[in-house]
Amino acid sequence: MNPLKKTAFITGVTGQDGAYLSEFLLKKGYIVHGLKRRSSSFNTDRIDHLYQDPHVENRNFILHYGDMTDSTNLTRLIQEIQPDEIYNLAAMSHVAVSFETPEYTGNADGLGTLRLLEAVRFLGLEKKTRIYQASTSELYGKVQEVPQSETTPFYPRSPYAVAKMYAFWITVNYREAYGMYACNGILFNHESPIRGETFVTRKITRATSRIALGLQDKLYLGNLDAKRDWGHAKDYVRMMWMILQADEPEDWVIATGITTPVREFVRMSFAEVGIELEFKGESVDEKGFVKSCSNPDYQVQIGQEVLAVDPKYFRPTEVDLLIGDPTKAKTKLGWECRYDLATLVKDMMQSDLNLMRKDQYLKEGGYTTLNYFE
């Protein structure tokens, strides 16, 4: 352990935010320890570029096997690592999937947070270790007021959101009960080229790229009317770190303050490849057709149906409208977004077009390519 360097422990290091946060903290000179789950095949794609040979001494990026459902594992690791900062990003983070796996979601996302806090308390690290809890705009759920701020009441609408609500309050409780430096970042949706493939933005940018390259005919989505406040994950991980550098532990809303319907995200993605869409119908009957295409290399026909609604993607209870008010973070911490929605869409589309071109070469070479689009 190097006493001159700060040490961070990131749970969920293999996820979108874990990867960007690791990069960010390593650039700041931290020693980063990450918790990864054992899986039957490699699950470290997003952090492979940070990997360091475990046989080399003085590594500053170290991975440990573990799981948020295993208290002894978490306690042992925190004792070994003696972290200055813990970023609890691990979660079963898919809202729709949480309706399928509600008990597991409660265990990993809700009780998992308790296990971390309790380990820090049990080990007597309350005064040393600062804790960031990945809270979420899903806590607001059914609209009570807009824009949503730190004082807006919660009304969670999924097993995921209810589990995260437990995690939110247990973090506040440990702060108040034991004087721990523990904070909630109430982050609104944030996306990137390494966003999980089944979240709506990435599903759209991947499918748009595949349709333009002739690898897929159509994109099926659920509720096109849902509105989200979308930012770029790179902006949001910077904020996680800033939250733990503040003088006092508090809870913070991080958002852009602009909301956009899913349908508009679809339109913007297709526009990136020069395809103009026309939407016809309503709700389950709504469809998207190619109105024009300015790039003759792309393999679409005028009038082709490229978007349809499949009700299987509707959620038993939906969160219709999220729009955050980041005034507190902007005024007290000086946070600013560097990306807007247009640059986010561009970034994701450029990356997915490159990825899908590889699939195109494989297909042309007679090899099979991925055909799982959920």
User: Which residues form the interface with ligand NDP (CB under 6 A)?
Assistant: 11-12, 14-18, 35, 37, 39, 43, 67-69, 89-93, 108, 134, 136, 187, 189-190, 196
Question: Considering the rule CB under 6 A, would residue 19 count as an interface residue with ligand GDR?
Answer: no
Q: Which of ligand NDP, ligand GDR, none sits in contact with 12, Cβ below 5 to 8 A by type?
A: ligand NDP
Cα 143 off chain centre by: 22
Residue 33 Cβ vs ligand NDP, minimum distance, rounded to whole Å: 13
Start-to-end Cα distance in the chain: 43
144 burial type by CB count under 10 A (0-12 exposed, 13-18 middle, 19+ buried): exposed
Q: Which of 7, 14, 129, 136 is labelled catalytic?
A: 136
Question: Considering the rule CB under 6 A, would residue 223 count as an interface residue with ligand GDR?
Answer: yes
Active site residue 138: yes
The residue count of the chain comes to 374
Residue of closest CB approach to ligand NDP: 15
Cα–Cα dist 273/224, whole Å? 20
Cα–Cα dist 75/80, whole Å? 9
Q: Which of ligand NDP, ligand GDR, none sits in contact with 223, Cβ below 5 to 8 A by type?
A: ligand GDR
Q: How many CB atoms lie within 10 A of CB 23?
A: 18
Cα–Cα dist 235/135, whole Å? 16
Shorter beta-carbon distance to ligand NDP: residue 136 or 269: 136
Give the count of residues interacting with ligand GDR (CB under 6 A).
Answer: 22
Handedness of CA 266, 270, 275, 276 (dihedral sign): positive
Check residue 370 and report its DSSP letter. Answer: -
Shorter beta-carbon distance to ligand GDR: residue 176 or 217: 217
Shorter beta-carbon distance to ligand NDP: residue 108 or 183: 108
Residue 367 Cβ vs ligand NDP, minimum distance, rounded to whole Å: 26
By CB under 6 A, what part of segment 31-70 binds ligand GDR?
Answer: none
By CB under 6 A, which span of 30-38, 73-81, 194-202, 332-340 interacts with ligand GDR?
Answer: 194-202
Check residue 157 and report its DSSP letter. Answer: -
DSSP of 300-343: --TT-EEEEE-GGG--SS---B--B--HHHHHHH----S--HHH
Shorter beta-carbon distance to ligand NDP: residue 168 or 215: 168
Active site residue 197: no
Residue 223 Cβ vs ligand GDR, minimum distance, rounded to whole Å: 4
Residue 250 Cβ vs ligand NDP, minimum distance, rounded to whole Å: 17
Non-local CB neighbours of 323 within 8 Å, separated by 6+ positions: 146, 147, 148, 227, 229, 255, 257, 258, 259
Q: Which of 138, 205, 208, 339 is labelled catalytic?
A: 138
Cα–Cα dist 30/237, whole Å? 15
Point out which residues bind ligand GDR (CB under 6 A).
Answer: 93, 95-96, 136-138, 188-189, 198-200, 203, 221-223, 226, 228, 262, 313, 315, 318-319
Task: Please give the positions annotated as active site.
Answer: 136, 138, 160
